[in-house]
Amino acid sequence: MNTSKQYIYRIKPTRSDMLETGPTEREAALVGEHFEYLQRLTATGTVLLAGRTQNDDSTSFGIVIFRAESDTAAQQVFDDDPAVAGGVFAGELHPFSVALVGDID
């Protein structure tokens, strides 16, 4: 039985114009590293779901639902996200519990 807890973090670009006019070279590189980071965590079973809204304005945000053994470990997952660590995304971390999961196409 998996004894880890579930968490969610919500992220938004720190520069709202990034989605409207496009990222800088630095932002694009960090977003690429962010995606690779989440791919690695998904492959190890840590990340359960990750995605973002499809609007390109200041209301856009992304979420990551993942497992961690403790609040400290969850904070480390969040802090180690390259786009968060690099200041491209700001976010908030919360304990979470997935209640229902349907098929995702």
pTM of the shown model? 0.92
Token readout for 57 is 């304005």
Provide block-wise average pLDDT over 10 residues at a time, the chain (105 residues). 86 92 96 98 97 92 97 98 97 96 85
- The sign of the torsion formed by the CA atoms of 76, 78, 84, 90 equals negative
Map out the domains of the chain as residue ranges.
20-63+74-96
| The pLDDT value given to residue 104 | 81
| The pLDDT value given to residue 1 | 52
Three-state DSSP class for residue 71: helix
Residue 23: C-alpha distances to residues 1, 15, 29, 31, 56 (Å): 42, 9, 9, 9, 12
